[in-house]
Amino acid sequence: MINGIVTFDILSNNIIFYVIGTTVVRVRRKKKKKTKKKKKKKKKKKKKKKKKKKKKKKKKKKKKKKKEEEDMEEERQEEEN
């Protein structure tokens, strides 16, 4: 073994090993912790229900119109008779 003095440098996180006449630096360096990336949340798509309701309403209106027309025709026929 080589005789020497071991010191720890707090600022650079290095262990410094002093030998007579020379210095050996960076014997051990602490590893930096990796930061985890945040995952992006996916947005949920909303279902379109309003259009379906409107279609149903249109169908009802058409049915009402047909009924009214039939009633009018019946009334006309009765008047003619």
pLDDT tens per residue, range 25-71: 555 666 677 777 788 888 888 777 766 666 666 666 777 888 888 88
Please classify residue 14 by burial: count the beta carbons closer than 10 Å to its beta carbon, then call 0-12 exposed, 13-18 middle and 19+ buried. middle
Higher pLDDT, 37 or 19: 37
Q: Is-contact 26 17, C-beta < 8 A?
A: no
User: Rounded distance, CA 65 to CA 67, Å?
Assistant: 5
Whether this prediction's pTM lies above 0.75 is answered by no
Checking if the pLDDT of 14 tops 60, the result is: yes
User: Rounded distance, CA 13 to CA 48, Å?
Assistant: 60
